[in-house]
Chain A
Amino acid sequence: MSKKKQKPSPAAVASSPQAKTASAAESEPSVSVASTSSAWPFVALGVLLFGCFLYVENTGGAFRADVFQGDYKTPPRAAAKSPEEQLLDRGRQVYAACAACHQPSGLGAPGQFPPLAGSEWVLHENPNRVIRLVLDGVGGPMTVKGAAYSNVMVPWRDVLSDADVAAVASFIRNNADWGNKASFVTPTQVKAIRDETKDRSGRPWTADELLKVP
């Protein structure tokens, strides 16, 4: 601070602090009229902006939500699921309804509900029987894996679509956990049989009828 500042006498201050405010006479800052607009800020901004676009282009991960570093490349995805795998996934969901009787383990309940795991009915080389069985159910005496059953399985014709029937049939025929492995079932096969047997609708098959089906 400037040392040449003069200390005001107490009397001068005491006279009236508001009488002659030091700043009262000061002028407020103004803006020069001579100034003209200049372009250099915008030139500089443009150059930097260009650089910034390049930078964001290179390191911004294309604005994706799942890219957390600029040089990240999409990892090789597990190969897209094959149609068979998709069918199995679908079948696993549909099977939830079947699991009530046949159990998630596919072992059924002894004396009441026949097993699917290792069942000759399920694993028959040709899926024609199992498709019919799912569509219209089955009733009466029946032998599965050497044990006799006489319960009634309800028809699923009106509940499941062709794709669902194909999926669940494929699932039970190819469930690796149960040790099942047989051919896959396609919706076309299901549709053919559904049309062929549409006049039965709802009347469960008997074991003898099914055994005649190739």
Chain B
Amino acid sequence: MTAPQISPPAACATAPSAVAVEASCRLPVLFFAFSSATWLLFGAVLALLSSIQVYQPAFMEGCPWVTYGRLRPAAVNSLVYGFALQASFGLALWLIARLGRVELTSPLGLFIAGKFWNLAVTVGVIGILAGDATGFDLLEFPLYAALPLFASYACIGAWALITLKARTERTLYVSLWFVLASLLWFPWILSSAQGLLLGWRVPGVVQAIVAGWFGNNLLQVVLIGMALAVMFYFVPKVVGRPLHSQSLAQNGFWLLLLIGGWTGLSQLSAVPAWIPAVSGAANVLLVVPVIVLIYNLYRTADGEIAEAWKRSGVFRFVTVAAFLLLLVTLRNAVFGIGSGARYTQFTYFAGARTDIMVLGVFGLSALGALHYIVPRLTVAQDELPSDGLVDLAFWASIVGLISLAIGYSLAGLTQGAVGATADRNFLGEAVTGVAGHLKLVTFGYGAIGVGALAFLVNFALALRRCCVACCGGVR
């Protein structure tokens, strides 16, 4: 993509006007944005409740529907399928429409498919609470929810790809590479994993390996890819400079795809030694593409960072998300291989990777992007109605994430220390002894919930103002 990338609208006869593009996005993108934020709030509340149960076992005791073993997967799956993936659909559609200068194909169809997606997630979460979870991490939805989920995704993905094909701006900007890879990656891994686990039923620990492979790909490529698409879109845009390097972006992109699918199995124990070894090595190798990509963004914004931080809300979100991505990748490289992996194996430390990736790297990117997109699609303005709520959403999310990461990490390291010596009292030190750290986690989920709520209220205010504008103040 080179200098005169924006041809004057007149020169491109078929290119729709920016207004028409936005109009086509309005219904589906706002729908995905609103429902994903709702799921974020809902998931954070479930996660908050389940995190209390870990040190207060009497909390909500006595009802199988809300026992920890069901509440926790319900929370994680709400966050992943309700919030993260749904937000990524909204972002993908918006990025395709904007960068491809094309109207969305079938906005109404996308909206209906989105409704079905939400229905499937709801059924799935209820299924988990009812005790029908499959038992595989990040694939807990029972088959009767997983199939409609896949079907509605098939529609969303297909329309997104059709839109991309119909784009009038033929140059594919970096963000669209990531969007395209994410959109394709998700159905591939989902069908492969569901087919092998719920259909063919591979035997023995192969099940755990396949589930681990799926979960890792979902986090490391689908969600991180979408987060990178957002970062690569907003950093140059806010700073007002072209992206530093095309070749670095290409290298980073392909290396991420090549290596990203191999990480994430380093914490399995009852599998042949080569599997955690290879996966641990991939954890280290992944540092290269992540540094390449983030360095590219850094060079793009270099010198303007402080100024952009003050000026733009989305830049703040995206910067913190990029920093978190670097951090979580380095953390994985150190604690995902060899004795580091062994030390943190089976602890909260290793488990926190999912939370940091979904709520941190992806969550912050998505929330930032939605703070940019939503006001444009509702009130046709740069910013959401309430500045205070925007600040609240940002700071609550950041504080929440930091508490979450620190709480889980400290708890995990304590567990690791106890687990490494048989002399230490497991129950006293590794279970009840980490209650203090886990209270920090509870606070973290609470803060993230507050952030989501702040965004939702702001969203509602914008919608209300939009209604007032459209309908002449009926309400």
A24-B272 contact, Cβ under 8 Å, with A29-B232, A52-B285: no
CB of B470 within 8 A of chain A? yes
CB within 8 Å for A63 and B274 given contacts A33-B3, A55-B338: yes
CA of A62 to CA of B285 in the docked complex: distance in angstroms? Answer: 20
- Distance in angstroms from A6 CB to nearest chain B CB is 10
Q: Which of B38-46, B154-162, B240-248, B411-419 sits within the interface? A: B240-248
Whether A26 pairs with B237 at a CB distance below 8 angstroms is yes
- Looking at B126-134, B181-189, B192-200, B249-257, the stretch in contact with chain A turns out to be B249-257
- The verdict on A179 contacting chain B, using a C-beta distance below 8 Å, is no
Task: Give the bracket for the number of chain A residues in contact with chain B.
Answer: 35 or more
Within B210-251, the residues touching A (CB, 8 Å) are: 232-237, 241-249, 251
**In contact, A14 and B468 (Cβ under 8 angstroms):** yes
B174 on interface, CB distance cutoff 8 Å: yes
Chain B contacts with A in 63-90, Cβ cutoff 8 A: none
Bound-complex Cα distance A51 to B281 (A): 9
Instruction: Choose one: A5, A44, A64; the contact of B382 (CB below 8 Å).
Output: A5
Question: Which of B114-122, B356-364, B383-391 contacts its partner?
Answer: B383-391
**What separation, in Å, do the CA atoms of A64 and B289 have in the docked complex?**
30
Chain B contact residues (Cβ within 8 angstroms of A): what range? Answer: 35 or more
- 8 Å CB contact of A28 from B5, B19, B255: B5
Say how far A32's CB is from chain B's closest CB, in angstroms: 4
The contact string, 1 if C-beta is below 8 Å from chain B, for chain A 158-198, is 00000000000000000000000000000000000000000
Q: Please measure, in the bound complex, the distance between the C-alpha atom of A21 and the C-alpha atom of B379, giving whole angstroms.
A: 9
Q: Is B173 in contact with chain A by the CB < 8 A criterion?
A: yes
Does any Cβ of A come within 8 Å of B284's Cβ? yes
Contact among A5, A17, A38, A51 for B387, CB-based, below 8 A: A5
Asked if B310 and A32 make an inter-chain contact with CB atoms under 8 angstroms apart, the answer reads no
Chain A residue nearest to B282 in the complex (CB): A52
Task: Tell me what chain A mostly uses at the interface: helix, strand, loop, or mixed.
Answer: loop
Among residues of A, the one whose C-beta sits closest to the C-beta of B22 is A21
B337 contacts the other chain (Cβ, under 8 Å)?
A: yes
Whether A32 contacts B242 in the complex (CB less than 8 A), given A18-B23, A55-B337, comes out as yes
Check: A30 CB closer than 8 A to any chain B CB. yes
Within 8 A of A (CB), among B142-170: 169
Q: Known pairs A5-B383, A33-B2, A61-B277. 20 more at Cβ < 8 A?
A: A2-B311, A13-B469, A17-B379, A18-B22, A21-B18, A22-B376, A28-B169, A30-B2, A35-B243, A35-B248, A36-B247, A38-B247, A41-B252, A41-B292, A44-B288, A52-B285, A55-B280, A66-B272, A67-B273, A68-B271
Residue ranges of A at the interface with B (Cβ–Cβ < 8 Å): 1-3, 5, 8, 10, 13-14, 17-18, 20-33, 35-38, 41-42, 44-45, 48-49, 51-53, 55-56, 59-70, 72
Enumerate chain B interface residues (CB-CB to A < 8 A).
Answer: 1-3, 5-6, 17-19, 22-23, 98-99, 169, 173-175, 232-237, 241-249, 251-252, 255, 270-274, 277-278, 280-282, 284-285, 287-289, 291-292, 310-311, 313, 337-338, 375-376, 379-383, 387, 390-391, 465-466, 468-470, 472-473
- 5 CB contacts below 8 A, A to B, read A13-B381, A29-B242, A35-B244, A37-B245, A60-B277
